[in-house]
């Protein structure tokens, strides 16, 4: 059937329109259609002007592009007759516009019923007393009631759950103000979302078109979760927390943010792999969610960083108290299937709105700065942001940059802390200590630059330089002074997992002809190192060569008796903290004595650090600890001072055989 014949057959207003919006054919009813009013209340004198309205043209473009098959637009005439404009594609070049309207009551009534019953949308009409006057078959399916149950019945009595919702608000607005309304609402009894269009009727009631949009809402929810949730933990992500904070700032709602970063998380990734690291990240998120109040928002910013948002700005004591509560959640180890228990601690920095700023990025930056301060100080409590921290952060950045040039500029120096057999006050070995004197910053403490070297990836380069320089000098000592003691180096635990570094260590010792048994490697207590099979195997191999292994600062880290029993170690160095308890605290003395006895029972050498008084020396000797180091015997010596000491004490006084 051609288009011209089709138009003639249609009794209701109809027209054929091309892609440019130009009418090619129209029947007489189209031109005779009277003035009309759209949703916004705008009046159009003829249909030709209505179909050129921007919102109609936009929907037509969707049909041309194949995004939609058809479009229906509801409006009314000036005399308040309800009308429907139906648009569908005829062929590649034309679309059919039809109007279903109350022009001929008999024809329209018959056609309207056919249209309403064939629609995919649910429809019902209500009179001015809120009683159903018509219900189509789709509405029966959606509302789970037959039309016989609804016709003539009051809507609010049949569906009392709709009272007090958007249904009530918009239906009353449509009926009383005589304006169309459109809204989305969730109806709990049906567990469904509905897209609803309500139109006023000339008789005083309303007509309602609605459709179930659960699939659309599920898609929206999925997209929202994808955009606002962390894929690994399911926690809110950075985007969500940023938007939430912006909302608080817009409402001038004070809040507090806790910026949480895991200490030494990189070691866990290196030891066990990223899969274990990911599982640990999830476990931590679950523990935080389980133990923190619901009114807090816990989000993962990425990596090993979390942000905890408290919608309040309490005083400093409360802030610190709550931060300590968070830290206490990490006192228990995290248990992962088929893996050793993992102990990890967080560093937490805190900032508050409005005290610390009125922009989200500013508040995050300041909490990050405070967290970095906590990490640097190895604080076991939350640290509140303080403006003075900016200077510290700036200095750290300068140090990080300057470390890259420190070797080339020859700014590193090495001093030697003698280790003494106190029974005869004789040097049995030396510990190498690194000193850095910067031309502008001045002396930079190892406690300051070594952590920065660790995090910036400079540690291996600095350690290689230290070993090469010091072992070359040590080779000269052995030749000139016949020194048979040990030389000890403090080695980062991360380097024991680096096969290239271990190969370098072996090669440089052989290059300078130093017996392996005169080399001692000091490692700081670290449970990840102790429990990692490859690290233990590396140390066992080094000991097989003859290299000695000592645990430095024993008693202050992750000391575990079971590890001492299994770990390949020759010596423990008791931290100065315990030496300082001598003649000061009886409990501290008791712990020190227990450590000495433990070492002796395990056939391990034991050396006390930080010996500064005669009383300390005598107490240690009396309790079975002969090896010591500290200012009571020697301060750290430069290379020249070491050589001068040996010249005076060894060569000068040596009696020929």
Percent helix, strand, coil in the chain (nearest 5)?
Answer: 45, 25, 30
Q: What is the rounded CA–CA span in Å between residue 469 and residue 491?
A: 15
Q: What is the rounded CA–CA span in Å between residue 126 and residue 128?
A: 7
For residue range 608-639, list pLDDT tens digits in order: 999 999 999 999 999 999 999 999 999 999 98
Answer whether residue 18 shows pLDDT above 70: yes
Q: What is the rounded CA–CA span in Å between residue 547 and residue 15?
A: 97
In angstroms, the Cα distances linking 435 to 459, 509, 632 are 14, 23, 21
The sheet that has 132-135: what strands, in order across it?
Answer: 132-135, 122-126, 206-212, 192-200, 181-187
Answer whether residue 449 shows pLDDT above 70: yes
**Least-confidence region, from 76-80, 164-168, 194-198, 401-405:** 76-80
One-character DSSP codes across 401-433: HHHTTTTTTT-EEEEEEEEEETTTTEEEEEEEE
In this structure, is residue 531 part of a structural domain? yes
Structural domains in the chain (count): 4
Torsion of CA 488, 533, 279, 351, to 10 degrees: -10
Q: What is the rounded CA–CA span in Å between residue 277 and residue 304?
A: 9
Strands 548-554 and 571-574: parallel
Model pLDDT, residue 233: 86
Cβ-contact 53, 61 below 8 angstroms: no
Model pLDDT, residue 530: 54
Answer whether residue 657 shows pLDDT above 50: no
Q: What is the rounded CA–CA span in Å between residue 578 and residue 120?
A: 82
Task: Determine the average pLDDT of the residues in 567-595.
Answer: 90
Q: Are residues 172 and 234 in the same domain?
A: no
Provide the CATH number for the domain around residue 137: 3.30.450.20
The residue out of 117, 134, 158 marking a domain boundary is: 117
Burial class (CB in 10 A: 0-12, 13-18, 19+), 443: exposed
Phi, psi at 162, each rounded to 5°: -80, -15
Q: Are residues 374 and 494 in the same domain?
A: no
Q: Are residues 549 and 644 in the same domain?
A: yes
In this structure, is residue 657 part of a structural domain? no
Cα 15-21-22 angle, rounded to 5 deg:
65
Q: What is the rounded CA–CA span in Å between residue 485 and residue 520?
A: 10
Q: Are residues 472 and 612 in the same domain?
A: yes
Counting residues of the chain whose pLDDT is more than 70, the rounded percentage is 89
In this structure, is residue 163 part of a structural domain? yes
**Least-confidence region, from 124-138, 211-225, 448-462:** 211-225
Q: Are residues 187 and 63 in the same domain?
A: no
In this structure, is residue 221 part of a structural domain? no
Q: Are residues 257 and 281 in the same domain?
A: yes
* Partners of 98 in beta bridges: 14, 86
In this structure, is residue 156 part of a structural domain? yes
Phi, psi at 209, each rounded to 5°: -110, 130
- Which structural domain, as residue segments, surrounds residue 159? 119-216
In angstroms, the Cα distances linking 102 to 148, 456, 497, 580 are 26, 79, 85, 100
Q: What is the rounded CA–CA span in Å between residue 92 and residue 332?
A: 70
Of residues 193, 166, 206, the one with CA closest to residue 74: 206
Left if phi > 0, otherwise alpha if psi is -120 to 50, otherwise beta: which for 493? alpha
Cβ-contact 124, 150 below 8 angstroms: yes
Model pLDDT, residue 556: 61
Which pLDDT band, with edges at 50, 70 and 90, does 2 fall under? low
Cβ-contact 86, 98 below 8 angstroms: yes
Strand runs labelled E in 354-399: 383-384
Q: Are residues 480 and 378 in the same domain?
A: no
Q: What is the rounded CA–CA span in Å between residue 149 and residue 241?
A: 49
**Which residues neighbour 396 within 8 Å (Cβ) at sequence distance 6 or greater?**
372, 376, 452
Of residues 569, 563, 567, 634, the one with CA closest to residue 605: 569
Q: Are residues 233 and 194 in the same domain?
A: no
Structure letter (DSSP) for residue 516: G
Q: Are residues 468 and 616 in the same domain?
A: yes
> What's the predicted TM-score (pTM) here?
0.54
Helices vs. strands in the chain: H and E counts, helices first: 26, 26
* Partners of 507 in beta bridges: none
In this structure, is residue 394 part of a structural domain? no
Model pLDDT, residue 557: 52
In this structure, is residue 222 part of a structural domain? no
Answer whether residue 567 shows pLDDT above 80: no
Q: Are residues 602 and 527 in the same domain?
A: yes
- CB count, 10 Å around CB of 45? 11
Q: Are residues 155 and 111 in the same domain?
A: no
For residue range 381-414, list pLDDT tens digits in order: 888 998 888 777 777 788 888 888 888 888 999 9
Q: Are residues 176 and 268 in the same domain?
A: no
Model pLDDT, residue 456: 77
Length of the chain: 657
The residue out of 58, 93, 117 marking a domain boundary is: 117
Cβ-contact 569, 536 below 8 angstroms: no
Q: What is the rounded CA–CA span in Å between residue 17 and residue 86?
A: 13
Cβ-contact 307, 284 below 8 angstroms: no
**Which residues neighbour 618 within 8 Å (Cβ) at sequence distance 6 or greater?**
none
What's the distance, CA 61 to chain centroid?
43
* Partners of 308 in beta bridges: 258, 298
For residue range 84-116, list pLDDT tens digits in order: 788 888 777 778 778 865 444 444 444 455 556
In this structure, is residue 140 part of a structural domain? yes
What's the distance, CA 641 to chain centroid?
52
Q: What is the rounded CA–CA span in Å between residue 468 and residue 221?
A: 61
The residue out of 343, 361, 387 marking a domain boundary is: 387
Task: Determine the average pLDDT of the residues in 563-579.
Answer: 83
Phi, psi at 547, each rounded to 5°: -70, 135
Of residues 507, 515, 510, the one with CA closest to residue 485: 515
Counting residues of the chain whose pLDDT is more than 90, the rounded percentage is 29
């Amino acid at each position: 059937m051609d288009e011209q014949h089709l138009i003639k057959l249609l009794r209701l207003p109809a027209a054929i329109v091309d892609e440019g919006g130009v009418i090619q054919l129209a029947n007489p009813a189209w031109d005779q259609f009277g003035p009309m009013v759209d949703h916004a209340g705008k009046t159009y004198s003829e249909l030709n002007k209505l179909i050129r309205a921007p919102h109609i043209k936009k929907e037509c473009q969707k049909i041309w592009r194949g995004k939609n098959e058809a479009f229906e637009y509801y409006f009314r005439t000036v005399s308040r007759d309800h009308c429907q404009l139906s648009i569908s594609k005829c062929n590649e070049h034309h679309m059919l516009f039809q109007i279903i309207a109350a022009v001929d009551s008999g024809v329209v009534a018959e056609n309207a019923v056919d249209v309403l019953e064939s629609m995919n949308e649910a429809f019902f009409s209500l009179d001015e007393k809120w009683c159903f006057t018509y219900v189509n078959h789709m509405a029966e399916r959606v509302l789970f009631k037959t039309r016989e149950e609804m016709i003539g019945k009051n809507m609010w009595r049949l569906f009392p759950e709709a009272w007090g919702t958007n249904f009530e608000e918009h239906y009353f607005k449509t009926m009383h103000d005589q304006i169309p309304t459109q809204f989305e609402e969730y109806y709990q009894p049906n567990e469904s979302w509905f897209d609803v269009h309500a139109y006023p009727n000339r008789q005083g009631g309303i007509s309602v078109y609605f459709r179930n949009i659960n699939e659309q809402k599920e898609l929206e929810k999925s997209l929202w979760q994808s955009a606002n949730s962390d894929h690994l933990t399911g926690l809110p992500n950075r985007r969500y927390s940023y938007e939430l904070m912006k909302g608080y700032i817009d409402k001038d709602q004070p809040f507090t943010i806790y910026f949480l970063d895991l200490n030494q998380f990189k070691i866990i990734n290196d030891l066990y792999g990223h899969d274990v690291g990911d599982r640990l990240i999830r476990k931590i998120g679950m523990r935080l969610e389980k133990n923190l109040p619901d009114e807090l928002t816990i989000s993962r910013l990425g990596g090993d960083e979390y942000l905890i948002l408290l919608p309040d700005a309490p005083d400093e004591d409360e802030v610190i108290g709550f931060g300590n509560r968070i830290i206490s959640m990490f006192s228990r180890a995290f248990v992962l299937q088929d893996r050793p228990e993992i102990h990890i601690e967080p560093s937490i920095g805190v900032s508050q709105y409005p005290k610390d700023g009125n922009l989200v990025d500013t508040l995050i930056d300041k909490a990050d700065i405070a967290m970095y301060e906590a990490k640097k100080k190895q604080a076991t409590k939350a640290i509140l942001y303080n403006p003075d921290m900016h200077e510290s952060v700036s200095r750290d950045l300068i140090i990080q940059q300057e470390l890259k040039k420190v070797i080339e500029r020859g700014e590193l120096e090495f001093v030697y802390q003698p280790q003494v057999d106190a029974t005869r006050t004789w040097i049995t070995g030396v510990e190498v200590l690194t000193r850095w004197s910067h031309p502008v910053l001045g002396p930079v403490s190892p406690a300051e630059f070594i952590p920065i070297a660790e995090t910036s990836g400079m540690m291996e380069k600095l350690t290689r330089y230290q070993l090469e320089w010091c072992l070359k000098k040590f080779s000269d000592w052995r030749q000139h002074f016949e020194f048979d003691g040990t030389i000890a180096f403090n080695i980062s635990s991360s380097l024991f997992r680096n096969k290239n570094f271990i190969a370098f260590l072996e090669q440089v010792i052989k290059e300078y002809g130093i017996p392996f048994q005169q080399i001692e490697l000091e490692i700081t207590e670290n449970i990840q190192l102790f429990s990692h099979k490859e690290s233990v195997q590396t140390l066992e191999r080094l000991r097989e060569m003859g290299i000695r292994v000592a645990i430095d600062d024993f008693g202050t880290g992750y000391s575990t008796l079971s590890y001492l029993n299994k770990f390949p170690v020759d010596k423990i160095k008791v931290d100065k903290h315990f030496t300082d308890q001598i003649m000061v605290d009886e409990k501290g003395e008791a712990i020190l004595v227990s450590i000495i006895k433990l070492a002796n029972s395990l056939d391990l050498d034991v050396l006390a650090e930080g010996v500064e008084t005669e009383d300390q020396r005598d107490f240690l000797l009396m309790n079975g600890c002969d090896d010591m180091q500290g200012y009571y015997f020697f301060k750290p010596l430069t290379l020249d001072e070491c050589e001068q000491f040996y010249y005076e004490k060894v060569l000068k006084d040596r009696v020929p055989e």
